[in-house]
């Protein structure tokens, strides 16, 4: 049961898109910052990546980094 609904009648894909894990310790994969921010998201564009970095208070830090 999930929210008083039998989970067998729920769309598994939609449920999985609503679940996230936020670790207490930061984790970066051995990829670019762009790839780390967009990990698991299909079709995300540069503007959305920059907005996510700003919301995470990481944009200024990222912009100071060397390529």
Structure tokens at 44: 């995300």
pLDDT exceeds cutoff 80 at 19: yes
pLDDT exceeds cutoff 90 at 21: no
Distances in Å between the Cα of 56 and the Cα atoms of 5, 7, 49, 53, 61 are 34, 33, 11, 5, 11
Question: What does pTM read for this prediction?
Answer: 0.62
């Amino acid at each position: 049961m999930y929210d008083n609904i039998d989970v067998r009648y729920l769309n598994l894909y939609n449920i999985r898109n609503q679940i996230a894990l936020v670790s207490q310790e930061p984790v970066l994969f051995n990829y670019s910052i762009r790839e780390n921010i967009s990990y698991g998201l299909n079709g995300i564009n540069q503007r959305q990546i920059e907005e996510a970095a700003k919301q995470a208070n990481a944009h200024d830090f990222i912009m100071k980094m060397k390529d």
